[in-house]
Structure 1
């Protein structure tokens, strides 16, 4: 089950990067550099905020760029299968055996009639990173567009 955190950009910022073909080559280059730099900053902030237990969550945070003459986009993705559970937390649960009388956890002679999975509180790492980088991103985009004017 995939969960997404979307950074809602200001309308003027979204319009600025949704179609960069209307700008001259120098402005396009500056916009693409801003998108690349701020995507890197977002990934670094997410890694810094990640709740570290084994390091799998931090290793699964990746960045992708799509920089073309028509648009400039960047994505930061948490590919660890448990990343949404850490970001949003989860309720506890009770696991009962299916078609057997007991659960076998793998120990010698240990069998359980049920397993209790405790609830875990949320430890957000992506949303705080988005909240931290978004004002810098908006300001850098405005500076890239208004650079020569």
Structure 2
């Protein structure tokens, strides 16, 4: 099941199942046919993402079920605790999940985050700079700027 909509960050595709959101991605164009009679959480996700992109929403309230390894899930769960407008380093995430030397693996988990924006991987930065971002560094800078201006 999926829902696609246009946003400030491009065409967004929300995918999931009857009970959960499983992924959010930027797609090149809307060449997918949205399914009819989608569960309410798809439309709730669309609304909340639009509010987030406009600076009006700071937290999400959605049923999420990303697929990943036990380590990735631990990293993503920790990212959900990072407050809007704040950043933490890969090393800080490592400390919080009792894997203090796993910065590269944490960076990899951030890059594989299937639900960006909602699981805020853009709030995780390198100790000496901005770090990477699966949607591109300019998108990461734009998101961090949005949050600093709205906070």
Please, what TM-score do these two structures have when normalized by structure 2?
0.23
Please, what TM-score do these two structures have when normalized by structure 1?
0.23
- Structure with the bigger RCO (C-alpha within 8 Å, sep 6+) is 1
Structure with more helix by fraction: 1
